[in-house]
Each structure stands twice: as C-alpha cells, then as structure tokens.
Amino acid sequence: MDVLAATEVERALVIVAHPDDAEFWAGGTLAGWAETGIAVTICVLTDGEQGGFDSTTPRSQIPRIRRAEQQAAAEVQGIGDVRFLGLTEEDLHPTPRLKRSLVALIRELRPRRILTWSPEWNWQRFRSSHPNHRATGEATLSAIYPDAGNRFAHTDLREQGLEAWNVEEIWLINAPEPNHYVNVTSTFEHKVAAVRAHESQVGNRSDLAAELRARIEPNTAAAGLEPGELAEAFQVVFNR
C-alpha cells in the first residue's frame, strides 16, 4: 500500500471529537509530520466538557481549560493551527450542519490527507468506540465524499471562494482493521509531552510514559519493527 510521501503532502487536517484525542492516538505521527514540514491543522469538534476527574473545578470552566491544554499540546508537536467548533458532547452527531462546517473547512485548507476517527465499532477497544468518536468519523467521511469534492454541492460555499477539493488519503484511528503503521520511536517523547499537556485529564502521573508505551507496544510486531521500537496504527483509505 503506497501512502503519499511526506514531500507530497503540503497540508494535513486532523478532525477529532475531544481535546487530547489526537495526542493519545497519533501524537508521535503528528510530531513526525510537522518535523517533515507538513502544515498540520487540528480541528476539535467539542470542548470535552464531560471529561476529567477533578470535582473541585467548576464544570463551566472545563471548556476554557481544555482548549488551552489542546493549544499547548499542539505546540509540543510543532503544530500552530488549532480550530475549535465548540459543540457539546451531547450535541455531537453527524448532522447536515456539521457536515457542511467540515466541508467548508476542507475546502478552506485543501489538505491532501485527513486523519480522523473510524466510524466503526472496534470490539478489541470497546471503550474507545465512544459515540462522539464514531460520530466524528461518520461526519468527516461524509464531508470528504462526496460533498467536499463536488462543485455542485454547497454552491453557497463556492460563492464564498471555497472551491471543491478532493482529499486523497484518509487515516482512521481506532479502526478495527489497521493496515498502516508509523514508526514513532524517535517522536515518542513528543507524544508523551503532548499528552501530559492535557493535565486536566492525566494529572501529574509519573507512569504516563509507561502507560502510553504499553498502549502502542502491541503494534511493534504488526509493523515489522525491532523489539523496543514503537508504532502507531491506522487504517488508511484512499479517495482517488
């Protein structure tokens, strides 16, 4: 399977449900993309207002806190462009309105590659198949095809200068059948630092690096890597 080389990808778009999704699942990969000169944008659909473990912080403050943490995490990965749609977790559904918003973003940024959640249940990681995750994947894939690339869809966006754009590659996280692995051994520390930036979610845990290593160590053999090397897993889908 031939994915686009880094030199062929000028811009990539990451669309996730919550702050910290990108870092937990693809932090090493995204840091690597940024290092190679790919302009990465992270779009977070909700502010993750239901997340965390701190019962002393007023819940009304959580969106502000989590947005700041996401900005800090992106900077650790070398990513300067973060967008927030500000949906509540209860309101995240693959609606026509959300799809249109994502079509507009895709046409604005014109990425050759999008990374997002798989819309499928992954029975091996049941608790990772959160309804928000699957809804994000469904909305994103529906925005990519056919609408983003169809000049006769959302003609009002064309009137705003947002011409049709076809995304060539989609990288899915938490997919039940991964078919592509990225060696993140050299960027693993960036991943750990980026996840640690989400302090409201992970606290000040001394075992964080070990936990993150354990999450992705099963990918080592599947990726054909040497023991001790680390990889993040994706299902890559082509829209060519």
d(CA 143, CA 141): 5
d(CA 228, CA 2): 26
pLDDT at 123: 87
pLDDT at 128: 85
The mean per-residue pLDDT over the stretch 124-144 comes to: 94
pLDDT at 124: 86
| 111: its two tokens | 């990425």
d(CA 1, CA 180): 8
d(CA 149, CA 165): 4
Q: What is the DSSP letter of 47?
A: -
The mean per-residue pLDDT over the stretch 179-183 comes to: 98
The three-class DSSP label of residue 111 is coil
pLDDT at 56: 75
This prediction has a pTM of: 0.96
pLDDT at 20: 97
Which range (119-128, 143-152, 191-200) has the least confidence? 119-128
pLDDT per residue over 88-110, tens digit each? 999 999 999 999 999 999 999 99
**Domains in the chain, ordered, with CATH?**
6-238 (3.40.50.10320)
Determine contact, residues 132/88, Cβ cutoff 8 Å.
Answer: no
Task: Specify the amino acid at residue 220.
Answer: T
d(CA 25, CA 231): 11
What is the sign, positive or negative, of the torsion defined by CA atoms of 86, 35, 125, 65? negative
From the centroid of its chain, how far is CA 110? 16
Residue identified by tokens 């473990």 is 53
Range list of H helices, 36-86 = 62-76
Q: Is the pLDDT of residue 12 over 80?
A: yes
Determine contact, residues 222/178, Cβ cutoff 8 Å.
Answer: yes
Range list of H helices, 160-204 = 188-196, 199-202
